[in-house]
Chains A and B, each alone.
Chain A
Amino acid sequence: GQQLNQSPQSMFIQEGEDVSMNCTSSSIFNTWLWYKQEPGEGPVLLIALYKAGELTSNGRLTAQFGITRKDSFLNISASIPSDVGIYFCAGRTSGTYKYIFGTGTRLKVLA
């Protein structure tokens, strides 16, 4: 079946540092989503991308829809302790309503 390779699996960074994570697929997607999950909660939608090359920001978060349509990137600038959590990418191909999720990137921020 379709798979999303998300990396890195985990990151330990200092407060104030920038963070980058990405997802790649062998399939072409027409939608990319980025979610954040905190302990005991469900994933919360951060950014949605609908066009190849699209670059979208949400505060300190910026995500890009890769021009090949097979990858996406999420950057967090000037990280703060509340950025801790698991970040998931999710992609959807044309002709389907379901999303495929990556395995998540666990982010820990050291104050």
Chain B
Amino acid sequence: EAGVTQFPSHSVIEKGQTVTLRCDPISGHDNLYWYRRVMGKEIKFLLHFVKESKQDESGMPNNRFLAERTGGTYSTLKVQPAELEDSGVYFCASSLRTDQGYTFGSGTRLTVV
């Protein structure tokens, strides 16, 4: 089966610009998660979708971040306007059941300059 796909793999934007990250989970996986790793630190939870519904968005840093999963398939994470501290690697993951470990995508490395 195809894995979790993320696009783009890298993005360099200026402070104040908008960036949209996309994640295509494994087909049939209702659970989709966004995580972020800031340089050298732990991988931190952002939010969890079950199909198109936000199950838990307690990790979203602030209202500059907007995640959507229309139709319960792929998901987008928009950062608007981007700030320097938003730089990091954004990972998407999916799972068939919530009691399973996740399958991660390769991540999007976001650099805000």
Contacts and interface: CB of A to CB of B under 8 A. Distances in A.
A45 B48 contact: no
Interface in B17-65: 31, 33, 35, 40-45, 48, 55-56, 58-59
Interface in B84-113: 91, 93, 98-107
B59 A98 contact: yes
Given A4-B42, A42-B4, A103-B42, A97 B107 contact: no
A98 B54 CA distance: 13
Interface residues on B, range: 20 to 34
Interface residues of A, number: 22
Interface of A: 4, 31, 33, 35, 40-45, 48, 88, 90, 96-104
Interface of B: 4, 6, 9, 31, 33, 35, 40-45, 48, 55-56, 58-59, 91, 93, 98-107
User: Which 6 A-B residue pairings sit nearest by Cβ, starting from the closest?
Assistant: A42-B104, A101-B43, A98-B45, A97-B98, A45-B101, A103-B42
